[in-house]
Structure 1
Amino acid sequence: MTPFVFAVVLAAAIMHATWNALIKVRADRFASISLTTFGMACTALPVIPFVAFPSAAVWPWIITSTVIHVGYRLFLTRAYEAGDLAQAYPLARGTAPLITTIGGIVLLSELPGAVALAGIVLLSLGTFLMSLRGGGPLARLNGAVVGYALTTSLFIAGYTLSDGVGARLADTALSYAAWMFFCDGVSAMAIGFFYRGRRMLTVLAAEWKVGALTGFLSAAAYGIVMWAMTQAPIASVASLRETSILFAMAISVFALGEKMTAWRSAAALSILAGVIALRLG
């Protein structure tokens, strides 16, 4: 992974943590994340006239990703409703790189080097530690959060692999991203209106500015990641993206008033060691 790819994926991680924190503090998180996805579609719309229309080989990956994203949003919002951002977010995001790595090996024959693989393991270990011990004793572990977050991680790994392959098959990663964001945004709003009805209009009227911001941040962050997956191994990019967990921890402590503990500090060090290993690998 080149220094430039490394740097832009870190920038994407900051943007990813920011939009997730904004969703966490919304009253109706399902409606808000649907609005965010619609914001991604609006961000992509001005780009579509200037990129290639996806070929027949690319559309199955766009459709697959759109379907997987539906499950991702559903379980992510349930995880946020069940517990703290600092527990739900790391577990959902941090488990996904291990699953993605296994998927990349099995499906794409893409095996990271030894140092990069060590970095993936260290990063995932740190996220487990932050989730399971970050908020206090294990006795206070929220089972509902764990269940929703782990299920979310399966969806994350699924769409990461799908989008990595799709972006590589497309004329450009930007072309794939723009069309996928558009399809996903239309799908999200249709499902949002189905479940929330007129309440979606209320949320849209009240939070359209937040939706535009989170949509732009989400589109920019994931667009960068999809481009990076055409330049470097998918598993390494997916793992580096999860440094967003460190930024989410900082947001949860300093902006949302959640607790900072010694366990969270130790977890952060493990994640940092994983990041360094990924860079060296």
Structure 2
Amino acid sequence: MTPRVTSAVLLAAVAHASWNAVAHRIPDKLVGFTLISGGGMIIGLAMAPFTAFPAAGAWPYLFGSAALHMAYYALLMRSFRLGDFGQAYPIARGSAPLVVTVLAALLAHEVPDGWAAAGIALSCAGLTGVALWGLRGHRPDWAAVTAALATGLAIAAYTVVDGLGVRASGSSLGYIAWLMAVQGGLLPAYAWLRRRGRTGARLRPYARLGLLGAALSVGAYALVLWAQTRAALAPIAALRESSILVGAAIGAVFFKERFGAPRIAAAGLLVVGIGLMLHAG
């Protein structure tokens, strides 16, 4: 985890929280995610001619990732419909890093050393604190919590699949371009089949906002994929989820959701965890 890799992942975290906030701001979640997914396809197709074509060994991962991303979008839409942004986003993102750590050890033979393991554990503790603070004073909505946890599992799965795929591809830019091109048309196709002639009319009022979300989404994931070619998967997953703190801040500023001292304390744990991961690097 060099300073360059760390900076790239932190920038990706800000961009990721921002595009999720854009998606949450659009009332019709299918419209929002259709614009973001379709916009990603357009960006991917525009990038593809100027990037290296992924190696043959990367394509099974790429197609698998496209399927997992569709499950992720469906679960995230459900999470946003059922829960507050400040609750659904932290639970979905905060549940992923530990699962990534286990999967990376099993599938990529990346077992973190003592410093990295301590950093991941502290970071996850901080992320869990942010997530639990979203439930303060309220009886948990278990349907929303379950959807958010399932979203976290989908995140962990595509993180590891893409980590292996981008390493096999020979080009992080080529991989992200073709991933966006392959998966980006699936959700718009579903929206068209479900809404038929009403699709265009529903998309137009939010087109600019949705395309902004698409650009942020592609940029965020391109940075993460590049980082995954230069560092272990588990620390990157934990560091990327610092987007939870950005999401909590966005929830407080734009959605009038309380931030509070416990989230500040959780942020402190996250910072210490990042420091330990950097020490390990």
TM-score, length of structure 1 as denominator length: 0.95
Partner of 2:150: 151
Q: Distance in 2 between matches of 1:273 and 1:35?
A: 37
Q: Which runs of 5+ in 2 are unaligned?
A: none
Q: Please state if 1:26 is matched with 2:45.
A: no
Overall identity of the aligned pairs, in %: 38
SS in 1 for 2:49: helix
Q: Which amino acid aligns with 1:246?
A: L
C-alpha separation in 1, matches of 2:141 and 2:133:
11
Task: Kindly provide the amino acid, as one letter, of the partner of residue 50 in structure 1.
Answer: F
AA of the residue aligned to 1:132: L
Give a deviation string over 1:39-83, Cα, whole Å, max 9, x none.
Answer: 111122221112232333221111100100111001111111111
For the pair 1:76 / 2:76, whether they are aligned, the reply is yes
In structure 2, what is the Cα distance between the partners aligned to 1:276 and 1:256?
31
1:89 paired residue number: 89
- 2:57 aligns to what SS in structure 1? coil
Q: Deviations over 1:201-252 (max 9, x none)?
A: 1232121111211000000000010010000001111111111011111111
Deviations 1:116-170 (A, max 9, x none): 1112111212222222233423x52221221001000111011111111110011
- Amino acid in the other structure paired with 2:64: T
Aligned length: 280
One-letter amino acid of the structure 2 residue matched with residue 111 of structure 1: V
Amino acid at match of 1:119: G
Which deviates further from its counterpart, 200-209 or 149-158? 200-209
Structure 1 residue 30: Cα displacement: 2.2
CA distance in 2, matches of 1:141, 1:123: 23
Q: Which residue of 2 aligns with 1:244?
A: 243
* SS class of match (2:185): helix
**What do the CA deviations read for 1:81-139 (whole angstroms, capped 9, x no partner)?**
111111111110011010011000011111122111112111212222222233423x5
| Aligned residue in 2 for 1:196 | 195
Contact 2:56-2:169 at 8 Å conserved across structures? no
1:231 — aligned with what?
230
The letter for the 2-side match of 1:209 is: R
State the alpha-carbon separation in 2 of the partners of residues 21 and 119 from structure 1. 27
Q: Give, as a single letter, the amino acid of the residue that structure 1 aligns with 2:204.
A: A
Q: Does the 8 A contact of 1:30 with 1:73 survive in 2?
A: no
Distance 1:108 1:94 in 2: 21
1:269 aligns with 2:268: yes
Distance in 1, Cα, partners of 2:215 & 2:260:
32
Q: Which residue is equivalent to 2:180?
A: 181
2:134 and 2:271 map into 1 onto residues whose CA distance is 16
Q: Which amino acid aligns with 1:142?
A: D
Give the corresponding residue for 2:169: 170
What residue ranges of structure 1 are gaps of 5+ in the alignment? none
In structure 2, what is the Cα distance between the partners aligned to 1:233 and 1:275?
A: 14
Distance, in Å, in 2 between the alignment partners of 1:50 and 1:258 is: 42
- Give, in whole Å, the separation in 2 of the partners of 1:273 and 1:24: 30
Corresponding residue number in structure 2 for 1:45: 45
Which ranges of 4 or more aligned residues in structure 1 deviate by more than 4 Å? Answer: none
Q: What amino acid is aligned across from residue 156 of structure 1 in structure 2?
A: I
Structure 1 window deviating more from structure 2 (116-125 vs 196-205): it is 196-205
Between the aligned partners of 1:177 and 1:260, the Cα distance in structure 2 is: 34
State the alpha-carbon separation in 2 of the partners of residues 262 and 127 from structure 1: 14
* Structure 1 CA distance for aligned equivalents of residues 69 and 25 of structure 2: 21
Residue in structure 1 matched with residue 101 of structure 2 by the alignment: 101
One-letter amino acid of the counterpart of residue 91, structure 1: I
